[in-house]
Amino acid sequence: MAREQPVMSAATPPFVAPRIAAARWAWLSRQLQRQVVPRIVLLLVCALFLLPFYWMVNTALKSHQELLAYPPTLWPHELIWSNFQDAVDYFPFWRYLGNTSVITALTILGSVISNPIIAYGFSRIDWPGRDKVFYVVLATVFIPFPVLIVALFDIFARTPRPVIEAGRLAWEGNWINTYLPLVVPMFFSNAFWIFLMRQFLMQIPTEISDAARIDGASEFRIFAEIILPQALPAIGVISIFAGLHAWNDFLGPLIYLQDEAKYTLSIGLTFFKSQREIQFSLLMAASTLIVLPVVALFLAFQRAFVEGISLGSIK
């Protein structure tokens, strides 16, 4: 039996002995199994998953009149590009985009710094009581957020924030109406991501660390130089999730930000819904504009992400 090779592309030349019909059939059925059937299934599933996005863009481009059509039109008969302009003018879109970007970038930074370090402490160093403490980490996952809101708000309302006034560090006011409550906790980790990271780090054989320890490497060097590069796929996953969470977070900005100039995009979206009506085309146009950079980043990041994954798989 020939050793199977993973098929890397549709253009891989078939290795067949043309004289033997049976081999040709086997090859054909293999191609069918690997190339055709998966594609059909994938295309069907993708069509389903594309539908919400398609309908968002479709609605974003429709005129008021066309929104009234019954049954609804499957694609806009007249493209109303001005909906995008109107959506951007409806609230300070570019300012909110900037605000959201700052929060997202800081959230990713915080998550990527804190979670791997903490997960390392919970997986690669064997200290007494470690697993018991880790159960506490897990337990925190089950605390319903809505009831922490008030207590958290009280903390942030009582904590003065550091400012540089006249060249000196001073403390004034509180954290409300700043990005601190949204961003600072991210530097102290998130139980889900510690868990995810730990599950990953536990898969890396202990022998590697032990060897480095015998060579006299410090624990932090082992972490930074040996384990961290192995954990890139998990870090990629965490940065995607953390970034997306910050990008779309609603309840946090809703409660902590009070100055309209500091609002985020997800808050801006709610302005399209009034007491008794929704500006449907504009809501969808703004949503499209919010989603597009994420999709672009994902497509760009995807390659690096998958490379990270393949790096991790060499064992």
Residue number, 109 or 208, with CB nearest to other proteins: 208
Footprint of other proteins on residues 223-282 (CB under 8 A)?
223, 233-234, 236-237, 240-241, 244, 247-248, 250, 254-255, 258-260, 265-267, 269-278, 280
Work out which of 102, 204, 217, 224 binds other proteins, going by CB under 8 A.
204
Q: How remote is the C-alpha of 76 from its chain's centroid?
A: 31
Which region, left, alpha or beta, applies to residue 204 given φ > 0 means left and ψ of -120 to 50 means alpha? Answer: beta
Stretch that binds other proteins, among 14-22, 79-87, 101-109, 159-167 (CB under 8 A): 159-167
Window contacting other proteins (CB under 8 A); options: 18-26, 77-85, 101-109, 285-293: 285-293
- Candidates 23, 88, 177, 224; binder of other proteins (CB under 8 A) is 177
Whether omega for the bond prior to residue 71 falls within 30 degrees of 0, making it cis, is yes
Enumerate residues 6+ apart whose C-beta is below 8 A from 13: none
Residues 262, 240: Cα–Cα separation, whole Å: 24
176 scored as a contact of other proteins (CB under 8 A): yes
- The distance of closest approach from Cβ of residue 213 to other proteins in the complex, given in angstroms and rounded to an integer, is 10
Cα–Cα nearest to 268, from 245, 249, 240: 249
**Smallest distance, Å, CB 19 to other proteins?**
25
What residues numbered 34-53 form the site for other proteins, per CB under 8 A? 34-35, 38-39, 41-42, 45-46, 49-53
Q: Is position 148 an interface residue for other proteins (rule: CB under 8 A)?
A: yes
Candidates 29, 82, 85, 140; binder of other proteins (CB under 8 A) is 140
**DSSP H or E stretch at residue 165:** strand 161-165
Joined tokens for residue 138: 């897990």
Nearest-angstrom CA–CA distance, 102 and 247: 10
